[in-house]
Homo-oligomer: A and B are copies of this chain.
Amino acid sequence: MFSKACEYGIRASIYIGQQSADQGRRVGLRDIATEIGSPEAFTAKVLQLLVRAGLVTSVKGPTGGFELTAEQLRTVTLREIVVAIDGGEMLQGCALGLRQCSARQPCPMHYQFLPIRDQLNELLRTHTIGELAGKVHDGLGFLKQFS
């Protein structure tokens, strides 16, 4: 569904958000990678994308790390994360790969896929990182497999 980069980006954002909401704790890369079960260096690249897009905040030096401001927790949606990493392609493009699939020249599945894609967009648009972080905080969601 999403690229690995995007999966890591979402999980990392939620973890950072959870730690930020929970007494404003700033978290380092090592910690993030450990807690979401992702490759550290690759996760760093993904986070740089999110920082440049203004979706995550980073601070250098000792006591530095990543955090989400109160505003980011409240306003950044899953959709923004996905678009920043994977681009809008997957959320708009034709399921069968036609470059200009529309009502004018629809692919045979065009009208069947439309409602599903719309729901997916709506889903991503209506969930903030802060909300998802809360779920993890309450033990209602997990970012890694504990076995």
Chain A residues at the B interface, C-beta cutoff of 8 Å: 1-2, 4, 7-8, 10-11, 14, 78, 90, 93, 95-100, 105-110, 112-113, 115-116, 119-120, 123, 127, 132, 135-136, 140-147
Contact = CB atoms under 8 A, between A and B. Distances in A.
Copies of this chain, tallied across the complex: 2
Given A1-B93, A123-B113, A145 B100 contact: yes
Nearest to A136: B108
Judged by DSSP, the binding face of A is loop
B7 A96 contact: yes
A144 B99 CA distance: 9
- Residue among A1, A99, A100, A146 having the largest count of chain B Cβ atoms under 10 Å: A1
B2 A142 contact: no
